Structures are given as C-alpha cells and as structure tokens.
Structure 1
Amino acid sequence: MAELLTISGIRPILLALVGVLAMVVLRYSWRNFRLDPRRGVFMRYMSLCLAAVLVLIVSNHLLLFFAAWVSISLLLHQLLMFYPERDRAVLAAHKKFILARCSETFLGIALLLIYLQTGTATLDRALALMPQEPHLMQHAAAICLVMAALIKCAQLPLHGWLIQVVEAPTPVSALLHAGIINLGGLLLLVTKPVWSVSTPAIWLLCLVAAVSCCVAALIMATRISIKVRLAWSTSAQMGLMLLEIGLGYYDLALLHLVAHSVYKAHAFLSVSEVAYIKQSEARSLPRVVMVFVLFQLACIAAAWLLTGSAKWLPSALLAMVLATIWMNLNRSGWRLLLSSALVISYGLLVWGAAQIIDNRDISLPLELATAAIANVFAICYWLIHHTPQYAVSQRWFISLNAGLYLDEWLTRLVLWLWPSHPIHYYQSRNNVSAVKGKLYEQTR
C-alpha cells in the first residue's frame, strides 16, 4: 500500500483544497437538487468524481494514476449529461468526451515510455531515475505529458467545450472550473523531472499557453454573460498557470492553482447574484502605455533587488494590474496605497510558496518571448477598451466577441470525425433513469 499511495510534496495542500471544495460543492448540490427526483443519482456521481480526484492526488503508481485520470473524465461526462434535453450541453459533452480520449492517449503513451525507460511503475521511484540529459524516449514522453496537460486545461483551439458546459448544472460548473480543469497543472507539477529537461516540450508548453492566455483574456473582456465570462476566464487562467509552470515558476503556479480553485468555486456558486460592470472610459493610449512601462520597470527593479532575478513575466503581469488600478482610481492616495499593498502581498505570497516547492533555472530567451507576448496583450486590451473611437478597435472587438471563430471549425471537425447521437437518444436514456429513481424512492 505504501508504494501505491503517497502524500509527499505538494499533495497535502491539494488534499486540503479538494476536501474543502468537496464539502462546499456537495452541500450546495444537496440543497440545489432538493426538488429533483434524481438527486440521489447526481450526488452519487458527484461523490465518486471527487473521490477519484483524491485518488489521483495521492496515487504513487503509474497504473493507479492513469485509472484515476480516466475515471474522473468518465464520471464528469455523466454529470455533464445529467440534463440531456439541453442541446448545447450535449454538444459540449460530446466534444469533451472525444478530447478527453485524446488527452488520455497522450498520458498513457507518456506513462508507458516512463515505465520502459526506468523499469519501475512506482511514480516517485521512476521520477527519481529520470536522467538530466534526456534522449529521444524522454523527449517523446515529455511532449506527450505536455499535450495531455494542454488538452485537459482546455487551451486554444480546444477550448470550445469548456465555454459550452455552462449549460450544465451550476455545481458541475463549480467542480469543473475549480478542480478538474486544474489537473493538467497537477500533472506537470508532479512529473516535472520528466519534461523540465526537454527543451522542445518546454517551448511547446510556453508558447501555446501564452497565446491561449492572452487571446482568451481578450475574448473574455468582450462577453456579457457572467457564466460565459467566467468560462473564458478559466481558459485564460489555465494558460497563465501552465505558462508559469513552463517558465519554472513552480511556486507561483502552486499559488495560482490554489487561488484559482477557491475563487472559481465561489464565483460559480454565487453566479446568480447581480453584477454591475462599469463601462470603461476612453483613455489616451500613449498615456496608458507610458504608465504601464513605468510600472513594469519598477517591478523588474524590485524583483531584482529582492530575489536576484528580474522575473520578466510576473513583473509584466503585475505592472498590468498596477497600471489598471492607477488609471481607474481618481485619488492619488488610494493609488499609492493599493499599489504598495499589492506589491508587498505579491512578495510575501511568492516567498511562502517558494518554501514548499523549488523553482528551476529559467531560459532567458523563453522568458523574454513570453514577456513580449504579455506586453502585446496589454496594449491590445487597452486599445480595445480605452480607445473605442478607433476603427481597428471596433473590428477587433467584433472578431473577439465571436471567439475568432475557432470553436466553429473544431466543432465541424469533431462532428465529421464522430457524429453525436440525436438529442432524443439521450432523453430516452434519461427518462429510463428517472423512472428507476422514482421506483427506488417508493420502495424505501
């Protein structure tokens, strides 16, 4: 049993996180489905899915890890199909089912290559035997792990199902966005001795994640529906987390994973509350860029003095936040107070996370490339939202609001490769389950 399970490394933190989320989501589900005759079925699938997540976190065997990964996907599919009369939910579940099989195929190949290279199925032992000078088999395993994580985290252009599953019950959205979608990050954090020495895998991870993060964030800012905005936000946040992992900021990625889970669970379970969104005021683009550049230089200097590293990407992201606060607040006193509080909190949180997990040496060209992408994203965001008088801003707003039409092409391809069943097929199955549930309740 000791070889099958382990609670080393970051696992205790993730176990505590999943335990709290499970308690909140199950309690909400029990109340939310109090009038539904199939409440028992829903609670059973939800509990089994959470149990599979716990098994995945503590698993220390390649086969057990793979079995838990597949079980989570299959149980989530049952939850997504709980109301089969919702056409968009059925389409999203169908695309999710196909993409999940692709992710599992990549993961299975990677785990098989790890076993063939190390000769052991115990995860900790296999990772300890990974050489620092990778050869072809390890490069292949690393790329497969990265592909499995990218698909699991719904990175562009494989993101459409994540946007459409908002048609599923709210507890399912909370479980998916707060927990299951993070499993790609967990996979890379656990298996970092395999892929962190493979340059092709690192570049693939960072470039795809950086582009996905920026594009999804721009699209999110053009949407109106709260749940759709949250779904696009999840895709962008997963891209940022994977980018942090690829750059070697493991402490930031762990902090991001925990914070995102808590925030998204609260956001989806309280999504019925009214949100007031203030329309952005027109700004002078040169002034906005000047404030952003000054903040970025200040963040780089502070990071260099405190840690001995410029931390180009985190500095660029923090500068975006500070510039936005500075431009939206009118009183200079509040500007200075909030900016200082953010910088201090950022430093303390990163220092605390660094005590739990070590970073690795970061490739300067890769970090500069991703920081450049972040800078382009910042300029595009402010161009669209603070300079609507420009024709280019209006054209970009329309295209981004349509999601750049990426999911339409993927949907056509998926339905051409594997057509979905008609809606009445799922409805008939659901009706049979409902009748069985009522008969069970009557016999109790």
Structure 2
Amino acid sequence: MADWFLLSGVRPVVLLLVLMLAFVVLRYSWSNFRLDPRRGQFMTYLSLCITAVVVLIVTNHILLFLAAWIAISLLLHQLLMFYPQRPRAVLAAHKKFILARFSELFLATALVLIYLQTETLFIDQSMAIISQQERGWYLEFAALSLVMAALIKCAQLPLHGWLIQVVEAPTPVSALLHAGIINLGGFLLLVTTPVWSDSQLAVWWLCLVAAISSCVAALIMTTRISIKVRLAWSTSAQMGLMLVEIGLGYYELALLHLVAHSIYKAHAFLSVSEVAYIKQPQARSIFRVALVFIGFQAMTIALALLVSGQPKWVPSALLAMALASLWLNLSHWRVRLWMSGVLLVAYFALSLTVKSFFLVAPQIAALELVVAAILNIFAVSYWIIHHTPQYRLSQRWFISLNAGLYLDEWLTRLVLWLWPSHPIRYYQKRNKQVTA
C-alpha cells in the first residue's frame, strides 16, 4: 500500500496549498452557514470534496487517481445544486456535469493507454518507463487525451460557460472551485509530463487553445461590472495562461502561477462585494499607445538577449504588457519608475536564479513565437478598446466582448438539446404560474 501514495515533485507544494485553503474555506463555511438548517449537509459535502482533492494529489495509483477525479466532480455537483431553486446555478451544474463526463472519458482513455504501454498501475513507474521508450500511437493518443481532459477541467473557451454561471452557488463553493479544483487540469499535466511533452501535436494544441482562450477571456473580463463575474472570467484567463506556461516548458513558473492564483482567488471570493468599480477609459492617441508598447517590447527583448542570449518571446511579451500598463495607467512618474524597476529586477533575478524557468526546447521555439504573437494581438486589442473608445471599432468590439462573443449561448443550446435540464423547466413553469 505504500506504493499507492507519493509525495514528490509538485505534490507537496500543491498538497500544502490545498490543506491551507481547505482550513480557510471550512472555517468560513461553518460561520457563513450558521443560520442554515442544512449546514451539516453542506459541510459534509464540502469536506468530502476536499478529501477527494487531497487523495488525487497524493495518490500514485492510476485507478485511485481516476476515482478521485470522478469523485471531485460528483461532489462538486452536489455543492453546486445545494440551492436548486436558483435556475442559473442549476444550469451551471447541468453543463458542468455533462462536460465533466467528457473530461473523465478523456482521462480514462489516457490512463488505459498508459497502462497498456507500460503494464504498471503506478504513476511514477509509468512516467519513468515512458521517458525511456520510443513513442508510438498509444502515447500520441494518450497525450491528446490528457490535454483535452486538462482543457475541459480548466474551463477553456468555448467550454467555459458553467464557470461563469457558477457564481450563483454559495460563496465557499466558488472559493474552493476557483482556488483548489479548477487548477487540477494543470496539476494533471505537471505529473504526466513525459506522456505529452514530446508530442508536437498535443503541445501545439494545448498552447494555441489555451493562449487564445486566455486572451479572449481576459478581454471579456474587462467589460464586466459584477465583481464575481469578473473573477470568474479572470480564472478562465489565468488557467489558460498557466496551461501555456506548462506547454512551453516553464513548469516551475506554472507551479508558482498555480499557487499564487489559488491564494488570490480564495481571498477574492471570500471577501467579495457586489459591484466592481471600473475606471472610465481615457481617450488616448493610438500612436502613443503603440509607441509605448513597442518600445517596452523592444527593451525587454534586448534585455533578455543581453542576460541570457535568447529573446524569450513569451516572457518578454508579458513583461512588456505589464510595463506598458504601468506607464499608461499610473499618473506619477516616480511611482512608474519604482514599480517598473521592481518588476524588472524581480523578472531577471528569477530568470538568473532558476534558469529552467525560461529555457525553451528548440522544437517548440516556433510555438513560443506564435504564442507571443497571440499575446501581442491581445495587448493591441485591449489598448484599442480601452484607450481609444472614441472609435466605432472599439465600441462595437466592446459590445461583442460584453456579450461574451455569444460563445456560451451556442453551448447552452447544444447542451439543453442533448440533455434537457428538468429542474430549470420546472422552476420556469412555477415562476410563470406565480406571475400569472
């Protein structure tokens, strides 16, 4: 039985994170539900869900890993349906339930293929064997299946709608979901790196879908008013960026991203208010915006070449966006200089201290360039929308983004056509009767 559990690699960090978040969420829930007669039932489901997450993190057995993955989804469904009289919560749970089955199917397919390839049920032994074997179609299909399972788990576009609507669920559920469950897709890829990292098709598919999803979700987030909805879109965007980091081989950076995002989102949801204050966009010259961004982009690439001899397209693009945002949004030049200096020092100290953060394998150098181009398109789109609102193009693009590009509407229609949600129909009928 000792071989069934493992604490190595990324597991101790993620386990410590989950235990810390579990303590906070459970304590908050006990106080938050003190007047609810079903507090005991809610705490039971919540505790079981957290237990399943812990088992998933520490298990080294393929079957137990799959069982924990399924258990998390089923227990989360019970938490999302805790107030079935909320139609939006029911719809979110319904879509989540269907998509989770596809995620489990992809994961089960990958694990079966891994077992057939390695003839062992222990994850660490399987990864060791795969890293020394020649790749066949078994591993290629397993790699694609793992990537699909992670993309669905991390609510990447266009399968994101349930995550946005799940804000109707109790606040502790949102905190646990956004901080400790949705990032399990990234954890899955981190512990199965030998399976998919050498698959060109899987890596390209992962990075392209995640990069586009991250950028679109981030743009949509900036148009929303409700703070919970903004946080939900932010989670989808952050998960996409984390998956991009994993796909490009920045595993330590992705782990840091996972931990930081989880802590931030748990705090944000547990201390959330109703409405976010959105600063009115200031009309700026598009040429000034372009000049600032291009200047910072050139500077970060030059500094990266000077320090490491590599352009590091994706980190340079992200750093340029951060610096441009500081200089375009902060009014005091001393604050600009101070924050820019801190950001640059932290970035290059990190790159020099942990060199593997920014070492990209030659076979995916072209992919990194493509992802950097996508990030630059995102930056240009953001600044056109929010710094040049006087143009008709910006106004039309803002309206479309505020509607979520209508992506979730199509998925909702398809889901309800495939499997109608009877509770929604029941409550809609009841509401009509009450109104009449």
TM-score (norm 1): 0.92
Per the alignment, residue 278 of structure 1 pairs with 279
- Superposed counterparts of 1:58-73, under 5 Å: 58-73=58-73
RMSD (CA atoms): 1.8
- Superposed counterparts of 1:161-180, under 5 Å: 161-180=162-181
Per the alignment, residue 100 of structure 2 pairs with 100
Q: Are 1:252 and 1:353, in contact at CA under 8 Å, matched by a contact in 2?
A: no
Q: Are 1:111 and 1:141, in contact at CA under 8 Å, matched by a contact in 2?
A: yes
The offset of 1:133, in angstroms, is 3.7
Secondary structure in 1 matching 2:390: coil
- Superposed counterparts of 1:67-146, under 5 Å: 67-130=67-130, 131=132, 133-146=134-147
Per the alignment, residue 11 of structure 2 pairs with 11
Per the alignment, residue 378 of structure 1 pairs with 379
- Measured at CA, do residues 60 and 354 of structure 1 come closer, stay the same or move farther in structure 2, by a change above 3 Å? farther
- Superposed counterparts of 1:183-202, under 5 Å: 183-202=184-203
Q: Structure 2: which amino acid aligns with 1:231?
A: A
C-alpha distance in structure 2 between counterparts of 1:3 and 1:360, whole Å: 33
Secondary structure in 2 matching 1:129: helix
Per the alignment, residue 299 of structure 2 pairs with 298
C-alpha distance in structure 1 between counterparts of 2:238 and 2:351, whole Å: 17
Task: Please say if 1:265 is aligned against 2:256.
Answer: no
Per the alignment, residue 433 of structure 1 pairs with none
Per the alignment, residue 20 of structure 1 pairs with 20
Does 176-185 or 288-297 show the bigger shift?
288-297
Secondary structure in 1 matching 2:3: coil
C-alpha distance in structure 2 between counterparts of 1:406 and 1:267, whole Å: 26
Q: Are 2:90 and 2:423, in contact at CA under 8 Å, matched by a contact in 1?
A: no
- Measured at CA, do residues 160 and 107 of structure 1 come closer, stay the same or move farther in structure 2, by a change above 3 Å? same
- Measured at CA, do residues 22 and 359 of structure 1 come closer, stay the same or move farther in structure 2, by a change above 3 Å? farther
Cα shift readout 1:343-400 (whole Å, capped 9, x = no counterpart): 2223345566668x89661511100100000000000000000101111111111111
- Measured at CA, do residues 358 and 295 of structure 1 come closer, stay the same or move farther in structure 2, by a change above 3 Å? closer
Cα shift readout 1:23-61 (whole Å, capped 9, x = no counterpart): 111111011000000001111111111111111111101
Per the alignment, residue 403 of structure 1 pairs with 404
- Superposed counterparts of 1:414-425, under 5 Å: 414-423=415-424
- Superposed counterparts of 1:31-46, under 5 Å: 31-46=31-46
Secondary structure in 2 matching 1:179: helix
- Measured at CA, do residues 234 and 312 of structure 1 come closer, stay the same or move farther in structure 2, by a change above 3 Å? same
Q: Structure 2: which amino acid aligns with 1:216?
A: A
Does 280-289 or 143-152 show the bigger shift?
280-289
Q: Structure 1: which amino acid aligns with 2:31?
A: R
Cα shift readout 1:68-92 (whole Å, capped 9, x = no counterpart): 1001000100000000000000000
Q: Are 1:52 and 1:68, in contact at CA under 8 Å, matched by a contact in 2?
A: yes
Gaps of 5+ in 2: 429-436
Per the alignment, residue 311 of structure 1 pairs with 312
Q: Are 1:3 and 1:122, in contact at CA under 8 Å, matched by a contact in 2?
A: yes
Per the alignment, residue 227 of structure 1 pairs with 228
Q: Structure 2: which amino acid aligns with 1:86?
A: R
Q: Are 1:252 and 1:350, in contact at CA under 8 Å, matched by a contact in 2?
A: no
Gaps of 5+ in 1: 428-444
Q: Are 1:149 and 1:188, in contact at CA under 8 Å, matched by a contact in 2?
A: yes
Q: Are 2:228 and 2:274, in contact at CA under 8 Å, matched by a contact in 1?
A: no
Per the alignment, residue 430 of structure 1 pairs with none
The offset of 1:252, in angstroms, is 1.3
Does 172-181 or 325-334 show the bigger shift?
325-334
- Superposed counterparts of 1:335-374, under 5 Å: 335-349=336-350, 361-362=361-362, 363-374=364-375
The offset of 1:162, in angstroms, is 0.3
Q: Are 1:312 and 1:367, in contact at CA under 8 Å, matched by a contact in 2?
A: yes
- Measured at CA, do residues 18 and 293 of structure 1 come closer, stay the same or move farther in structure 2, by a change above 3 Å? same
